[in-house]
A and B are shown apart, each in its own frame.
Chain A
Amino acid sequence: MAMVEPRSTKYRVLASHLGMLCFIALILFPLLMVISISFRSGNFATGSLLPESPSLEHWFLALGIPYTDAAGNVTQPPFPVLLWLWNSVKIAVVSSILILALSTTSAYAFARMRFGGKGFVLKSMLIFQMFPPVLSLVALYALFNEIGDHVSWLGLNTHGAVIVASLGGMALHIWTIKGYFDSIDRSLEEAAIVDGATTWQAFRYILLPLSVPILMVVFILAFIMTIMEYPMASILLVDTDKLTLAVGAQQYLYEQNYLWGDFAAAAVLSGLPITLVFLYCQKWIVGGLTAGGVKG
């Protein structure tokens, strides 16, 4: 606390609170609006923030249940939202586990072992990671097209392809984990090795248990990155029941078929779990963002 405080401090504190509350109102407007829209009837109606004629029609449709309105007309769900959510979660979980396993072992080698070309590989990984995969989509498409002719579960329109493709973004995680490993004293493992442990045992029983926090962070970051991945999935996946949420969600808002209300319910339904997980994990994520990897 500052020792010297001007008299105007009280007013400044008040003004800051007011300003921040106004800002929060501005920030929350789109999010509250969507929740409100999801309870409105119809796909085009505009109205106040609190719906005048609340209806659960969009929620029924988002949950995949056909909705019957008062006049007896039955509306079928336009898109399989829950299936998309499941696809997204499935792809994200599998690829995060793979990313975690591979990047942990690589980070271990980079942090603890001495071998030729180490610095070069590390630096070039960092540089190549900067190139956006959107630009090599043609090549990636051709690559998966070719592989798919011989290994069917890795071809176009398979989840295997999306999972494997997401492994390309591993360099960042390797750097993050390596940064954490560097901060752990290596004499612990050396002691274990002196006592007769193999390199692998030292890694498995000494280093890994000490690194659980950073592994959590990397898992969450990898999970979120894969769930949000759009360009690659939009090229690799074709069939409606194969799509991930990120690719599927936009189908609600085609100019000719503008299902605004249905979209709102689907968005709240599918976005909420991800948001809650993120908020719950935010402390660790903040730590991971600033602690690991490239420090200033």
Chain B
Amino acid sequence: MTRNILKWGLLAIVVGLALYLILALYAQREFVFAMLFLVLTASAVFVFVDRRMYAHRYIYPAVAGMTLFVIFPLMYTVGIGFTNYSASNLLSFDRVQENLLGRTYQSESVRYGYELYQTDTGYVIYLEGQHQNLQSPPVSLDSGDAESVPVLPVSSAPQGEPLGMREIIKNRKSLGVLKLETEDGRQLTMVGLRDFGAIQPLYEMSENGALTNQRTGVTYFPNHDTGFYQNAEGERLTPGWTVNTGWDNYEKVITDPTISGPFLQIFAWTLVFSVGTVIFTLILGLLLANLLQWDQIRGKGFYRTMFILPYAVPAFISILVFKGLFNQNFGEINLVLENLFGVRPDWFSDPTMARSMLLIVNTWLGYPYMMLLCMGLLQAIPRDLYEASAMDGAGPINNLMNITFPLMIKPLAPLLIASFAFNFNNFVLIALLTGGAPDIIGASTPAGTTDLLVSYTYRIAFQDSGQNFGLAAAIATVIFVVVGALSLINLKLSKVKV
């Protein structure tokens, strides 16, 4: 009984919280997010209430987590790829309109000269206009906060002497933030040391949704293709809003030479980098695993522990260590190279050197994993094959090429593809070691010669001043397709059974 109350009570609380979140998101016009949480909550209730879904209760949290943090961001990213979402087109149309309509300017036509009087209870502002004179109640000017003060028509100036220029200048700051409100609802602010003027909304919306600039008289029409308010000459008002631009971002990647050039170069380097890493780490790992496998070698435990060390040190630390060691001027590696060979390579400013450095460091980081895999797989090869080959007089090279490698490559293939995919997306290495530098000359987006596609995407989205999320998402989508194809191949090769 208590169990039941507890169960239903807990469910009610969770559902209540979720509904609050959904409503709040909906009220903020975040329909995509509201929809996401609605689906998650509904499926949760269904799974936990329906008896037939008993097994699903065990997997629901994990599947929901995957949906929320892997699948949804993936879909959302693909969606962003078809929009112009960026630093200049961040808001929704309604918000942009709100923002523009909230802008004001000081009208030149309505002006009041003013005098400042000091009274016992504060300062009184007396405005002299063409048609009427206005006076404020006593206000305190000490706070310096923006205040709204009503002003009423009066027939004559207050008693006493007005304060001089010096006092006005002293209180300029407080006067500047003061908003005087007339009876008919106009707002007056200080426009000069001697004048108050009316503030008016800068834009006025007409029936058809166009905005007219009250000061210049220019009319701006909303353009839902570009996501900006534009006038007849095509001049734009910022900020713009997010609109669907279809395949524009993809077209840009293909046709704009300042984008497609660097893109292709980075794509090629990404392939070279990941294939190179897989080959180097495999060769080294296989070699070491074979040596450790050899019966004649003593002290295997020691060797294995030493060989695993690069894998055991956290990668973000060893990458930064290499960043320091490879430093051109006071790095220890150049110090050693100069003493031995008299050379001082510029590891960070020369593209070829930077790329070799990345491969060296990544091989250092990655071979222990390959070695561990190879050691595991070598166990499975029957020893008598080597006995037989020894009888026939084969050497170690023959053994490797004719027995070990052919028997290992099949189980190894899916793992190699996984390793390829991992290095294809090896963001941390690039971000911490070179940051993509040196840059590609003539690129219109931030693009470096050592950038991989992932770090390139990241830089377009987060480092560029334009923060072109749309373009970044489009490139991300291209990578998704590549990675998706790879993982399908992998699934086929490894013949996963469920």
Is this pair of chains taken from one and the same complex? yes
> Which of A72-80, A111-119, A189-197 has 4 or more CB atoms under 8 Å from chain B?
A111-119
| Closest 3 pairs between A and B when the two form their complex, measured CB to CB | A296-B411, A168-B69, A136-B73
Whether, in the assembled complex, B461 has its beta carbon less than 8 Å from a beta carbon of chain A, the answer is yes
Check B305–A279 contact: CB distance below 8 A. yes
Check A253–B324 contact: CB distance below 8 A. yes
Interface residues on A, range: 35 or more
What mask results when residues 355 to 393 of chain B are scored 1 for a CB within 8 Å of chain A, else 0? 000000000100000001101110000000011001100
What mask results when residues 119 to 156 of chain A are scored 1 for a CB within 8 Å of chain B, else 0? 10111011111111111111110110011011100000
Q: Which residue of B has the minimal Cβ distance to A140?
A: B73
Write the residues of chain A forming the contact surface with B, with a CB cutoff of 8 angstroms: 1-5, 9, 12-13, 16-17, 19-20, 23-24, 27-28, 30-31, 33-34, 37, 44-46, 102-103, 105-106, 108-110, 113-115, 118-119, 121-123, 125-140, 142-143, 146-147, 149-151, 164-165, 167-171, 174, 199, 227-228, 230-231, 234-235, 245-246, 249-250, 252-253, 258, 260, 263-264, 267, 270-271, 274-275, 278-279, 282, 286, 289-290, 294-296
CB distance from B450 to the nearest CB of A (A): 16
CB distance from B347 to the nearest CB of A (A): 14
Residue of A1, A137, A146, A169 near B458 (CB, 8 A) is A137
Check B487–A127 contact: CB distance below 8 A. yes
Q: Which residue of B has the minimal Cβ distance to A122?
A: B498
Complex CA–CA separation, A96 to B15 (angstroms): 26
Q: List, in ascending order, chain B residues with CB within 8 A of A2's CB.
A: 295, 386-387, 390
CB pairs A–B below 8 angstroms (23 shown):
A4-B391, A24-B303, A31-B309, A114-B55, A115-B53, A119-B498, A130-B484, A132-B425, A133-B73, A136-B70, A136-B476, A143-B68, A146-B25, A147-B21, A167-B65, A199-B54, A230-B432, A245-B314, A267-B320, A270-B317, A274-B314, A275-B312, A295-B411
> Which of B195-203, B232-240, B262-270, B488-496 has 4 or more CB atoms under 8 Å from chain A?
B488-496
> Which of B74-82, B162-170, B173-181 has 4 or more CB atoms under 8 Å from chain A?
B74-82
CB distance from B249 to the nearest CB of A (A): 13
Check B312–A279 contact: CB distance below 8 A. yes
Q: List, in ascending order, chain A residues with CB within 8 A of B62's CB.
A: 102-103, 105-106, 170-171, 174
CB distance from A200 to the nearest CB of B (A): 9
Check B316–A131 contact: CB distance below 8 A. no
Residue of A3, A33, A135, A278 near B454 (CB, 8 A) is A135
Q: List, in ascending order, chain B residues with CB within 8 A of A275's CB.
A: 309, 312-314
Check A246–B309 contact: CB distance below 8 A. no
CB distance from A285 to the nearest CB of B (A): 8
How many cross-chain pairs have Cβ atoms below 8 Å apart between A and B? 281
Check B72–A143 contact: CB distance below 8 A. yes
Residue of B28, B312, B318, B480 near A30 (CB, 8 A) is B318
CB distance from B423 to the nearest CB of A (A): 11
Complex CA–CA separation, A252 to B414 (angstroms): 38
Q: List, in ascending order, chain A residues with CB within 8 A of B415's CB.
A: 296
Whether, in the assembled complex, B307 has its beta carbon less than 8 Å from a beta carbon of chain A, the answer is yes
Complex CA–CA separation, A169 to B65 (angstroms): 9
Check A168–B65 contact: CB distance below 8 A. yes
Residue of A110, A143, A151 near B33 (CB, 8 A) is A143
Q: List, in ascending order, chain B residues with CB within 8 A of A245's CB.
A: 314, 316
Check B77–A125 contact: CB distance below 8 A. no
Which one of B59, B321, B418, B432 has the highest number of Cβ atoms from chain A below 10 Å of its Cβ?
B59
Complex CA–CA separation, A5 to B390 (angstroms): 8
Q: List, in ascending order, chain A residues with CB within 8 A of B461's CB.
A: 137-138
Complex CA–CA separation, A250 to B65 (angstroms): 30
Check A252–B308 contact: CB distance below 8 A. no
Check B65–A102 contact: CB distance below 8 A. yes
Q: List, in ascending order, chain A residues with CB within 8 A of B462's CB.
A: 137, 235
Given contacts A46-B330, A113-B58, A126-B487, contact A150 B25 (CB under 8 A): yes
CB distance from B232 to the nearest CB of A (A): 35
Check A253–B320 contact: CB distance below 8 A. yes
Complex CA–CA separation, A264 to B68 (angstroms): 39
Complex CA–CA separation, A260 to B62 (angstroms): 42
Q: List, in ascending order, chain A residues with CB within 8 A of B294's CB.
A: 13, 16
CB distance from A264 to the nearest CB of B (A): 8
Check B313–A296 contact: CB distance below 8 A. no
Whether, in the assembled complex, B253 has its beta carbon less than 8 Å from a beta carbon of chain A, the answer is no
Whether, in the assembled complex, B306 has its beta carbon less than 8 Å from a beta carbon of chain A, the answer is yes
Given contacts A2-B386, A109-B58, A113-B55, contact A151 B21 (CB under 8 A): yes
CB distance from B177 to the nearest CB of A (A): 29
Given contacts A110-B59, A253-B324, contact A134 B314 (CB under 8 A): no
Whether, in the assembled complex, B291 has its beta carbon less than 8 Å from a beta carbon of chain A, the answer is yes
Q: List, in ascending order, chain B residues with CB within 8 A of A46's CB.
A: 330, 332, 335
Check A127–B308 contact: CB distance below 8 A. no
Q: List, in ascending order, chain B residues with CB within 8 A of A23's CB.
A: 288, 307
Whether, in the assembled complex, B412 has its beta carbon less than 8 Å from a beta carbon of chain A, the answer is yes
Complex CA–CA separation, A235 to B488 (angstroms): 30
CB distance from B261 to the nearest CB of A (A): 22
Check A28–B309 contact: CB distance below 8 A. yes
Complex CA–CA separation, A114 to B376 (angstroms): 32
Whether, in the assembled complex, B12 has its beta carbon less than 8 Å from a beta carbon of chain A, the answer is no
Q: List, in ascending order, chain A residues with CB within 8 A of B77's CB.
A: 135-136, 138-139
CB distance from B457 to the nearest CB of A (A): 6
